[in-house]
Copies of this chain bind each other. A is one copy, B any other.
Amino acid sequence: MSEPASGGESLLFLTDEQLRKGIEAMFFAYRGFTADPDRILDGMDYGRAHHRAIHFIHRSPGTTVNNLLSILGVTKQSLNRVLRTLIDDGLVESRVGREDKRERHLFLTARGAELERELSDAQRARMRAAYRAAGPVAVQGFRQVLEAMMDPDQRRQYQTLKEGGA
């Protein structure tokens, strides 16, 4: 594997060292990314799994359990436990499907929406600060690299969500 050192105008020659820095950047940044919601959830009886469920129910109200399952990439048993506590605590409402009674459609209640806002306000604040600090060009690149890093299935999910919400 001998790369022709200079790839035209720019280097697409990536050393292990450069890649390692990228890997570590992901590791440390993800910690920051989850830190604020984690802090809020800590003390309540909820964790990161609850946050994720709440996020995607907020994002796609009326989504089915199965749908949520494939987005979150966990087993239905795992999701169910989280969902049950959220339903019992009155943060999420589960409505039996009108067409297919096997399905449950999920919605945030007023209280659920309130918690969602609190969590995502914190997370957005950090994201906004990072975006501002790095600037619009960097943000563009950030999104491009992240997208390229996803598995094809994940990318499809992400893009569906991306469009659906506009």
A109: interface (CB < 8 Å): no
Copies in the complex: 2
Produce 1/0 per residue, A140-158, CB < 8 A to B: 1111111111110011011
- Category for how many chain A residues contact B: 35 or more
A6: chain B residues at CB < 8 Å are 136
A111: chain B residues at CB < 8 Å are none
Beyond the given pairs A23-B33, A25-B147, 13 more chain A to chain B contacts, judged by CB atoms under 8 angstroms and listed by A's residue number, are: A16-B120, A17-B166, A22-B142, A23-B55, A24-B158, A24-B161, A26-B146, A28-B158, A31-B73, A130-B148, A138-B142, A138-B144, A142-B144
8 A-B contacts (beta carbon < 8 Å): A20-B124, A23-B33, A23-B120, A24-B59, A129-B148, A134-B141, A134-B144, A140-B141
